[in-house]
Amino acid sequence: MSATTAPPPTEPTAPTSTKPAKDVPRSIRALRLARAGKRRPDRRESKIENPLREGLRLERMPDPFVLVLFGGTGDLAHRKVLPALYQLWRTNLLPHEFMLVAIGRRPYDDETFRADIRASLERFSRVLPIDEAVWASFRERIVYHGGDFNDPDTYSRLTARLDACDTEHGTRGNRLYYLATHSSSFPEIIGELGRAGLDHEVHGAGWRRIVIEKPFGRDLESAIRLNREVGKVFRESQVYRIDHYLGKETVRNLLVFRFGNGIFEPIWNRRYVDHVQITVAESIGIENRGSFYEETGASRDFLQNHLMQLLSLVAMEPPASFDADALRDEKVKVVRAIAPLSPDEIRRDVVRGQYGRGWVAATEVPGYRDERDVDPESETETFVAARFAIDDWRWAGVPFYLRMGKRLPKRATEIAIQFRAVPHRLFTDAGADPEPNLLAMRIQPDEGILLRFGAKVPGLGIDVRAVNMDFTYGSAFSVDSPDAYETLILDALLGDASLFTRADEVEQAWGVVTPIIDVWADSPPPEFPNYEAGSWGPPAADELLARDGRRWRRI
Amino acid sequence: MAGAAAPPIATRTVGTGRPGTPGEPTLRWASRAHSIADIETELARIWAVPKLTTRVEGVEERHIAARTSVLNLVVVARREEIGEHAAAVIRQLTGRHPSRTLILTSADPEGRSWLDADIQAFCVLPRPDAAETCAEQIHIRAGGAAGRHLEAIVAPLLIHDLPVTLWWPSEPPLSSAAARDLLAMADRLVVDGSGWTGDGLVRLRELAAAMDRDRLAVSDFALVRQSRWREAIASVFDLPEFTPYLRSIRRIALTYGTRDETGAPGTTNVVKPVYHVAWLASRLEMTVDRPLGPVDGGRATGRTTARTASRTAAAGPPILHRGLVATLRAAKSDVSVVIRPVLSATPAGTTLRVEILAERRGSELRADVTAEAETVHVRVWLDGVAALERSFLAARRTEVDLLGDSIDAGGRDPAIAGDTIRMAARLAGG
């Protein structure tokens, strides 16, 4: 802002006890729902609404704010967070009164850091080339704040700097702390923010929110400990745990698909569904993240978060409203209803694998143990497949098969609802029974929905063959979808936590995964590597379904 | 088509060849027909041909995967060149929207009845590794009685259950019987009010009437194009200290460009500036107390015309007309509206400036919004002291963007568009 006179100080707006005449939807998504007659009440909304915003891209602009980016020089910040912010700025979705204070240990000055960001944007921005005028206005809002995360002096200087932002740039005390650091730094950063009083929300003096990147702990105990550390400083309503999967357009569309279409709900239960398969297949390996992967493995990196999130979205009951907590209440109920597995059941129903040398996409690739920064004797799993049961009224008796693997033949994320076979064989002359119907939701790539049904083969007699009705998103919408980080950062700025993970969700998911990790730690590992790169995982994964008379879908 | 000549159907399939460049539409099918029945046959053939594939290094590889299933787009083109232009715009949207496009051009209404149709399928690769997406485009030229009953051509060729968007470039005769029949089968009407002749206000009133009569959703490019202005104006009142002033607006002044030396009412299309006022008025729940009329000596007499203004101008140095005035009513107070022309090289009728004056508890807020090329500037003064200055970079949108937005089924602000158009019609005396 370049006003000749600073804007007048914030004056008290509407009395907080008075609800606005109309509830103001908080985001584009909320806006769409609002149009569908599902306006949700918002207890936190206390501002006078701006009627001119109705019908525009955002029904409410984020408040003026400072984004305090911890780990500002790190990979995540440069690949994801900063390009997302630039894109939001470029498309006028951020207020003019916005500042970015990046915190890192490197001895940078503002100009060096800005040059670094510019270089990263050239590589990672999804819209190129970089617009010089946009960049000029973006760069002047970026400052670098050097310091150690565990040094109280970093935070006292930060306090002064943030206050200066409020005065000079009109950011009005609103702060979004973004932890894009290694998770081991989370407790100390959160603790120091608390000690410096940077978490305090004083009425009328701005909001304080914190965004935490996964992993949220590495088992149930550490997750509880981390949540406790966070909870000592921030209220749960101030905490936004990012699982970027939830920001993906097609994952969000799962909700629309399930609850925006009337025809699926009546058959979305044990009476019609035989089983559900969720596959997250990656053709890539660990991509120079050997030391990270050695610490995590597929169960921590994917099963506890992304796969559990997909399972919750598929299996959850319809929420009463699209309020963040109503949605998350239903999701957490699903995870809570997952039947706990005994050690024997874990050994029987959960399969781990590690890839060996092989061929992927016509290229020979090394085995996991040959990757950089990986122990040559590593017992870390790069593949996990599991069979879960959800003990509730809707899903009792319907197995959910989940699998995730690295170096599989192709990149594909799909959810398949396999329906039951027809109860009576009518076409006795047909060569084979009709295949049961299948509904597959492709998350990536080629987002779309496929329905398989039987059709008569042309000719004399009656022969039935399965055919696919395939809807591809690209054929209906080729509008540029926002990146997951753009969606999520904007939601955090607007105070909409629907797409963020709540503490109890995290703990419940760890409650499912931790016993598996514990049993594996105590059990002799299988003969790793036990699947060839470019195959669909170890044979035991196929046996897991074969035992039940089923098989994995061919993707 | 009754009475149509039936020469042999000339068919040309262009389904083989290398895959297209991602994002660039490629012609994959072309044929011709001279009756509705033949057109239907040709359309069925496009999707029945099993070998409509592209070849990569001699190997059949990529099947034309999907016809888009989003909507029917009907274009009424009064002249051949309008139809050609519309076809070019729509081709750019191949992967995005229309499933079937019918471009209708009628000619020689008094001659014998005839029909000539070019049937084409365009496909586009969204990404190099994705399947192609295709859309059909049928350009129909009709003469004689067939050309006078376009609705009879359109009805059998619509893909059922898909919404119908009717794009009517140039001057749609919205009150004519023929237009009514076409509008009755449409869900959405797309027009560009800024291209209408005269001041455009008569047609604006017709548009509002058609919208309510046929329960149409309407997209007017003139209104869609202004979204960058609306975002900029709205941003002023996002600031909580300025928001209350929205309820205390006393004056809205618009300046628009004209190339007419007199600037007299009726010489320049004023649909765009009127939309600005109408948008503000409808969002702020104002009512029209006195519709727009010409300024004459500071008073609106409604009698100043282009001719009288020219006479005045001829007597001395050119004096630009002082424009149009209206009065709106907000709660218990009046809001004066002024729409003024200034000589400008910009396209006639382009809004150059929006000024909003508000008074509240003895304090005065003045917001001034201007635009140039890719930028919208906002300046705000509070009691004469500069309080805010901002620039929004927002690219002007092309016709492809505008059509894409407009036919984005149920796209953004349908209610806002309807409210604004109705308010604009009331401002125009409707």
Set of chain B residues whose Cβ sits within 8 Å of the Cβ of A59: none
Checking if the pLDDT of A388 tops 60, the result is yes
| pLDDT tens sequence across A320-348 | 988 889 999 999 999 999 999 999 999 99
Give me the pLDDT at residue B135, please. 83
Residue A52 near chain B (CB below 8 Å): yes
Q: Considering chain A, what is the average pLDDT of its residues?
A: 86
Share of chain B above pLDDT 90, in %: 42
Q: Are strands A355-356 and A273-281 parallel, antiparallel or unpaired?
A: unpaired
Residue A256 near chain B (CB below 8 Å): no
Residue B159 near chain A (CB below 8 Å): no
Q: How far is A544 from A379, CA to CA, in rounded Å?
A: 21
Angle between helices B271-283 and B201-213 (to 10 degrees): 50
Judged by DSSP in three states, A350 sits in strand
**Residue with the larger pLDDT of the pair A204 and B370:** B370
Top-ranked range on mean pLDDT: pick from A233-237, B97-101, B308-312: A233-237
Q: Are A180 and A77 in contact (CB under 8 A)?
A: yes
Q: Model pTM?
A: 0.81
Give me the pLDDT at residue B55, please. 45
- A56 vs B413: CB contact, 8 Å cut-off? yes
Pick the closest to residue B172 from B197, B152, B147, B151 (CA basis): B197
Q: How far is A175 from A99, CA to CA, in rounded Å?
A: 10
Residue B314 near chain A (CB below 8 Å): no
Provide the H-helix boundaries in A246-377: 249-259, 290-298, 308-315, 324-336, 343-349
Give me the pLDDT at residue A472, please. 72
Checking if the pLDDT of A78 tops 70, the result is yes
Give me the pLDDT at residue A394, please. 96
Q: Are A19 and A48 in contact (CB under 8 A)?
A: no
- Rounded mean pLDDT, B17-30: 72
Pick the closest to residue B96 from B418, B401, B378 (CA basis): B401
A133 → chain B, closest CA residue: B393
| pLDDT tens sequence across B359-407 | 999 999 999 999 887 889 999 999 999 998 888 888 788 888 888 877 7
| B133 closest CB neighbour out of A3, A13, A475 | A475
Give me the pLDDT at residue A156, please. 94
Checking if the pLDDT of A176 tops 70, the result is yes
- Rounded mean pLDDT, A194-203: 88
Task: Kindly indicate the confidence band of residue A430, based on its pLDDT and cuts at 50, 70 and 90.
Answer: low
Q: Are B103 and B139 in contact (CB under 8 A)?
A: yes
Lowest mean pLDDT among A434-448, A451-465, B208-222, B341-355: A451-465
Q: How far is CA B371 from the centre of its chain?
A: 20
Checking if the pLDDT of B45 tops 90, the result is no
Share of chain A above pLDDT 90, in %: 61
- A52 vs B230: CB contact, 8 Å cut-off? yes
Lowest mean pLDDT among A195-199, A243-247, B231-235, B302-306: B302-306
| B65 closest CB neighbour out of A1, A90, A472 | A472
- A5 vs B387: CB contact, 8 Å cut-off? yes
Structure ipTM: 0.83
> Side chain identity at B14, as an amino acid letter?
V
Q: How far is B167 from B103, CA to CA, in rounded Å?
A: 9
Beta strands in B9-97 (DSSP E): 11-13, 26-33, 53-56, 59-67, 71-77
Task: Kindly indicate the confidence band of residue A29, based on its pLDDT and cuts at 50, 70 and 90.
Answer: very low
Task: Kindly indicate the confidence band of residue A287, based on its pLDDT and cuts at 50, 70 and 90.
Answer: confident
Q: Are strands A358-360 and A239-242 parallel, antiparallel or unpaired?
A: unpaired
Give me the pLDDT at residue B131, please. 67
- A52 vs B243: CB contact, 8 Å cut-off? no
Give me the pLDDT at residue B363, please. 94
Give me the pLDDT at residue B148, please. 81
| pLDDT tens sequence across A110-141 | 999 999 999 999 999 988 899 998 999 999 99
Checking if the pLDDT of A221 tops 80, the result is yes
Give me the pLDDT at residue A61, please. 85
Checking if the pLDDT of B94 tops 90, the result is no
Set of chain B residues whose Cβ sits within 8 Å of the Cβ of A50: 234, 237-238, 243, 246
Burial class (CB in 10 A: 0-12, 13-18, 19+), A129: exposed
Checking if the pLDDT of A359 tops 80, the result is yes
For chain B, the farthest-separated pair of C-alpha atoms sits apart, in whole angstroms, at 80
Chain A 95-154, residues with CB within 8 Å of chain B CB atoms: 95-96, 131, 133-134, 137
- A92 vs B231: CB contact, 8 Å cut-off? yes
B413 → chain A, closest CA residue: A55
Q: Are B105 and B139 in contact (CB under 8 A)?
A: yes
- Rounded mean pLDDT, A8-17: 37
- B241 vs A477: CB contact, 8 Å cut-off? no
Task: Kindly indicate the confidence band of residue B298, based on its pLDDT and cuts at 50, 70 and 90.
Answer: very low
Give me the pLDDT at residue B20, please. 64
Q: How far is B178 from B250, CA to CA, in rounded Å?
A: 44
Q: Are A184 and A226 in contact (CB under 8 A)?
A: no
Give me the pLDDT at residue A295, please. 86
Pick the closest to residue B28 from B116, B77, B91 (CA basis): B91
Give me the pLDDT at residue A54, please. 86
Q: How far is B57 from A104, CA to CA, in rounded Å?
A: 52
| B240 closest CB neighbour out of A13, A446, A479 | A13
Checking if the pLDDT of B280 tops 50, the result is yes
Residue B390 near chain A (CB below 8 Å): yes
Judged by DSSP in three states, B88 sits in helix
| B388 closest CB neighbour out of A3, A11, A471 | A3
Checking if the pLDDT of A547 tops 80, the result is yes
Set of chain B residues whose Cβ sits within 8 Å of the Cβ of A52: 230, 233-234, 237, 246, 280, 283-284
Checking if the pLDDT of B180 tops 70, the result is yes
Give the closest-approach CA distance of B284 to chain A in angstroms. 7
Angle between helices B80-91 and B399-407 (to 10 degrees): 70
* Cα→Cα distances B24→B19, B93, B359, Å: 10, 10, 53
**Residue with the larger pLDDT of the pair A157 and B307:** A157
Residue B331 near chain A (CB below 8 Å): no
- B246 vs A52: CB contact, 8 Å cut-off? yes
Q: How far is A69 from A178, CA to CA, in rounded Å?
A: 5
Give me the pLDDT at residue B49, please. 60
Q: How many CB atoms lie within 10 A of CB B72?
A: 24
Following CA atoms A396, A399, A405, A408 in sequence, which dihedral angle do they give, to the nearest 10 degrees? -150
Q: How far is A67 from A252, CA to CA, in rounded Å?
A: 25
- Rounded mean pLDDT, A309-319: 95
A424 counts as catalytic = no
Checking if the pLDDT of B181 tops 70, the result is yes
Task: Kindly indicate the confidence band of residue B64, based on its pLDDT and cuts at 50, 70 and 90.
Answer: very low
Q: How many CB atoms lie within 10 A of CB B59?
A: 8
**Structure tokens, A376:** 């040559």
Q: Considering chain B, what is the average pLDDT of its residues?
A: 82
- Rounded mean pLDDT, B285-293: 95
Chain B 98-137, residues with CB within 8 Å of chain A CB atoms: 126-127, 129-131, 133
- Rounded mean pLDDT, A157-179: 93
* Cα→Cα distances A496→A59, A170, A322, A491, Å: 13, 23, 10, 5
Burial B230-263 (b: 16+ CB within 10 A, else e): bbbbbbbbbbbbbbbbbebbbbbbbbbbbebbbb
> Side chain identity at A390, as an amino acid letter?
I
| A3 closest CB neighbour out of B231, B241, B389 | B389
Checking if the pLDDT of B284 tops 70, the result is yes
Set of chain B residues whose Cβ sits within 8 Å of the Cβ of A479: 96, 404, 408
**Chains A, B: CB pairs < 8 Å:** 125
Give me the pLDDT at residue A191, please. 95
Q: Which of A78, A145, A275, A306 is catalytic?
A: A306
| A5 closest CB neighbour out of B131, B233, B386 | B386
Judged by DSSP in three states, A52 sits in helix
Give me the pLDDT at residue A233, please. 95
